[in-house]
Structure 1
Amino acid sequence: MTYSPQDGFPYYLDLAGNSDCQTLFASTTTLSFLETISEEKSIFWYAPGKWSIKQVVGHIVDHERIKMNRAFWLSRNQQLQLWGYDQEALVQNARFDEQTFQELLTDYKNVRKASHSFVCSLSTEQLQINGKAKDQEVSLSDFLRTIIGHELHHINIIKEKYL
């Protein structure tokens, strides 16, 4: 079955594929791709009201930070209702376009390194803990995989609409 972005978790899981979490968070494919984008191109947006490439990268990093915090709580078997967030407000209140693209990529690398370290610390049992995210019950493993799926969704948009 093919999913669309409106399908949320199933769509992001589909994009992440069947790789294990450690492999997904160790991948440097996204970083290698982003490093090919120039500073000049990074301020481009493909239509009025859309984010610049810098803002998309900043959003990817923000999303990972938020989701990894949630993953931490789930890994400790804390059954919290995981709240949503307003991505537009977060991007509007950030200063992504004021930073250099290299600064944003450094932030991306640092956040990914911390995420990878956390993922590597998890046991098989922890990865199987289930929790609720929105109205869906998901395992920690699937929850983590959606972080990568979300990233891949935005990278695909950059490739299709920005470059």
Structure 2
Amino acid sequence: MEYKPEDGFPYYYSLANDASLDALFSASSSTFTLLHSIDEKKGNYRYAPNKWTIKEVIGHITDHEKIKMFRAFRLSRKETVELWGYDQNSLVRNAKFNALSTEQLIADFSNVRKASISFIDTLSDKQLNIKGMARTHEITLEDFLKSIIGHERHHMAILKEKYILEN
């Protein structure tokens, strides 16, 4: 079955189920190389009216990882937690991403990624197999974490396609 972005978890997981969790979170160098190639002027570019700027996309990817990692932390401790979505447009609209430099946004994303890797390194196999619900899908913590990278891959593909960025 082929999933679409509006399908949420299954779509994002399908974009990242090709590698181990450690490999997925550690292989972000190509993402950061691409992001570091964006200058300030390009950071404010939006490919159509009412679409996010590149800065807003970077901020959104970072926000997404922060939210999902907090939920993953709670699930790893066997707390009951809802793993489904959030209002991404509200979060972007109420952030000040466009007032920040592209470098600040990339640094924040990098710091969040380092914290995510640090957290993942503390998890046992037993914790990675804890199950939770993402809407109607019962998933393991490991699969939930993989979907974070799938989300990143989704947005990086959009940056490359719609914002005309090159590796």
Range class of TM-score, shorter chain: over 0.9
Once residues 65 and 100 of structure 2 are traced to their aligned partners in structure 1, the CA distance between those partners, rounded to angstroms, is 19
Once residues 123 and 54 of structure 2 are traced to their aligned partners in structure 1, the CA distance between those partners, rounded to angstroms, is 32
Letter in 2 for 1:66: I
In the other structure, the counterpart of 2:63 is 62
Once residues 77 and 159 of structure 2 are traced to their aligned partners in structure 1, the CA distance between those partners, rounded to angstroms, is 35
1:87-102 alignment, distance < 5 Å: 87-102=88-103
1:36-55 alignment, distance < 5 Å: 36-55=37-56
Q: Could you list the runs of 4 or more consecutive aligned residues of structure 1 that deviate by over 6 angstroms after TM superposition?
A: none
- Superposed CA RMSD in Å reads 1.2
Aligned length: 163
- Normalised to the residue count of structure 1, the TM-score between the two structures is 0.95
- Normalised to the residue count of structure 2, the TM-score between the two structures is 0.93
Matched, 1:140 2:141: yes
Query: Percent identity over the alignment?
Result: 53
Letter in 2 for 1:2: E
Matched, 1:17 2:37: no
Matched, 1:158 2:163: no
Once residues 83 and 6 of structure 1 are traced to their aligned partners in structure 2, the CA distance between those partners, rounded to angstroms, is 12
- 1:33–1:26 distance in 2 versus 1, CA, 3 Å: same
Contact 2:24-2:149 within 8 A present in 1 as well: yes
Once residues 104 and 141 of structure 1 are traced to their aligned partners in structure 2, the CA distance between those partners, rounded to angstroms, is 27
Once residues 37 and 15 of structure 1 are traced to their aligned partners in structure 2, the CA distance between those partners, rounded to angstroms, is 24
Task: State the shift of 1:78 in Å.
Answer: 1.4
Structure 1 unpaired stretches of 5+: none
Once residues 73 and 132 of structure 1 are traced to their aligned partners in structure 2, the CA distance between those partners, rounded to angstroms, is 13
In the other structure, the counterpart of 2:6 is 6
Letter in 1 for 2:18: N
Structure 2 unpaired stretches of 5+: none
Letter in 2 for 1:36: S
Once residues 83 and 156 of structure 1 are traced to their aligned partners in structure 2, the CA distance between those partners, rounded to angstroms, is 23
